[in-house]
Amino acid sequence: MAYLDNAATTRTSAAAIDAMRRVMEGEAFANPASQHAAGDAALRALEGARREVAACLHARPSEVEFVSCGSEANNQALLTGAAYGAREGRRHIVASAIEHASVLRMLDWLASADGPFGGGFDVTLVRPNEKGVVSVEAVKEALREDTCLVSLMYANNEVGSVQPVRDACRMCRKRGILFHTDAVQAAGHLPIDFTRDGFDLLSVSAHKFHGPRGTGALLCSHRVAPTSLVLGGAQERGHRAGTANVAGAAGMAMALREASDALEANKTQVERLREQFAARVSQIDGVHVLGPADASLRLPGIVALTVDGVDHEPALVLLDEAGVCVSAGSACAAGAVETSHVLSAMGASPEVARTYLRVSIDASENSEQDIDTAASALAKVAARLRGGAR
């Protein structure tokens, strides 16, 4: 099987599994809030993981809050920004039109009449250019006197475009506007410096860099008081209730350390595989690679394609039959593939968006053989579907 859906999730690394097993089987299995030696051991493991995650992302340990996933981190970041806005009497939020659903759905809730903090927040969604990049100028134009929060993802999950988050953040900070970046696809793949770049809020998710699913972190600057999303006990310094997932945190810390140490080597390897794939698919009629051509403006691992005249739903089935796992955007509740809001925002027609496929490559998962298998399978599938047969 050629697994080329690493942007959806990655295989958990052996070292991350070992780190989790050590917690679950060893001394640190207990509740870190418990007032006994076993609890102390769990607390030490949890705080060690927090220090490691902070070090990898260049944040202070006290700025790292463990959460259950990237979606939760995004939800809480937006809630925190909205709470700040409500306190300041500023109820306008700016985000890009290509954010993940966990940002966009939360914005819908904040905008609705029965949303949190009185609801009725005004939301402006900024469109990207045809390559999937949002400009700082476009964000600037969207800002108003009453803007409290800007949420701009570090890198997009469907086309891999990297956004100008550093400059956008600097501009927002000067105006007293909180800045959140969803770095779920970037963490472990691009260097992130939370302190130097002055982010207020940043979301990560362990399963995108070979950590376990169901573990993430919200980085919240010491300048900002996070608003709780999960209410109950006083875990995570009172900002997130729920008995801590110590094993998950340990697995995440290990995976992030491995990814951070291998960042440059992995990038070089993935770029090489990407070039190989791009060269092969350029020989197939009607295949277009989307996103920025400039390597500094894209995640190396995500190759977004449209294939003229080839509907992605049957293509996914046939590729799967050929042992190739790729994706075509998010699956809706009924299991069908939804038309990508990212491609729509980039100006693609619904007909073109229906031919979108995402191939996501990973340094430790994939080989030249996988690339070869995927490119050959895609050529056959395109020919077969264009011929009308399935």
Return residues touching ligand PLP (CB under 6 A): 69-71, 74, 100, 102, 153, 157, 182, 184-185, 205, 216
Question: Directed axis angle between helix 101-111 and helix 70-88, to 10°?
Answer: 30
Least distance between ligand PLP and beta carbon 63 (Å): 19
**Minimum separation from the CB atom of position 185 to ligand PLP (A):** 5
Residue positions counted in the chain: 390
Query: Which sign does the torsion angle of CA 57, 63, 68, 71 carry?
Result: negative
Give the integer Cα–Cα distance in Å for 67 and 77. Answer: 11
Closest CB to ligand PLP: residue number: 70
In three-state secondary structure terms, 288 is strand
- The nearer residue to ligand PLP, 42 or 168, going by C-beta atoms, is 168
CB of 321 to ligand PLP, least distance (A): 25
Least spacing, CB of residue 8 vs ligand PLP, in Å? 7
Task: Let me know if 220 is a catalytic residue.
Answer: no
Judged by beta carbon, residue 157 or residue 373, the one nearer ligand PLP is: 157
Specify whether the CB–CB gap between 106 and 100 falls below 8 A.
no
Q: How far apart are CA 216 and CA 340, in angstroms?
A: 25
Closest CB to ligand PLP among residues 121, 209: 209
- The residue with tokens 């989307």 is 290
In this structure, are residues 233 and 208 in contact, taking their beta carbons and an 8 Å threshold?
A: no
Task: Report the residue number, 51 or 213, with the smaller CB distance to ligand PLP.
Answer: 213
Q: Which is nearer to ligand PLP, 9 or 376 (CB)?
A: 9
- Output 160 or 381, the one with its CB closest to ligand PLP: 160
Integer Cα distance of 231 and 260 in angstroms: 33
Helix ranges (H only) for the chain are 14-25, 37-57, 70-88, 101-111, 136-142, 165-174, 194-197, 246-261, 263-281, 312-321, 341-345, 350-353, 368-386
Q: How far is the CB of 153 from ligand PLP (least distance, A)?
A: 6
Nearer to ligand PLP (CB atom), residue 150 or residue 184: 184
Can you say whether residue 343 is alpha, beta or left, with left for phi > 0 and alpha for psi between -120 and 50 degrees?
alpha
Report CA torsion sign: 136, 328, 186, 43: positive
Q: Distances in Å between the alpha carbon of 352 and those of 130, 132, 158, 309? A: 13, 15, 14, 8
Q: Report in angstroms how near the CB of residue 182 gets to ligand PLP at its nearest.
A: 5
Question: Which candidate in 69, 148, 172, 332 is catalytic?
Answer: 332
Spatial contact of 162 and 155, defined as CB atoms under 8 Å apart: yes
Q: What is the CA radius of gyration of the chain?
A: 21
Q: Which residues are CB-neighbours of 388 under 8 A, at least 6 positions away?
A: none
Least distance to ligand PLP from the beta carbon of 118, Å? 27
Q: Which residue number, 94 or 106, has a Cβ lying nearer to ligand PLP?
A: 106
Smallest gap from Cβ 168 to ligand PLP, in A, equals 16
DSSP alpha helices (H): ranges in 100-187? 101-111, 136-142, 165-174
Question: What CA–CA distance (Å, rounded) separates 249 from 49?
Answer: 6
Tokens 């399963």 — which residue? 207
Residues acting as catalytic residues: 332
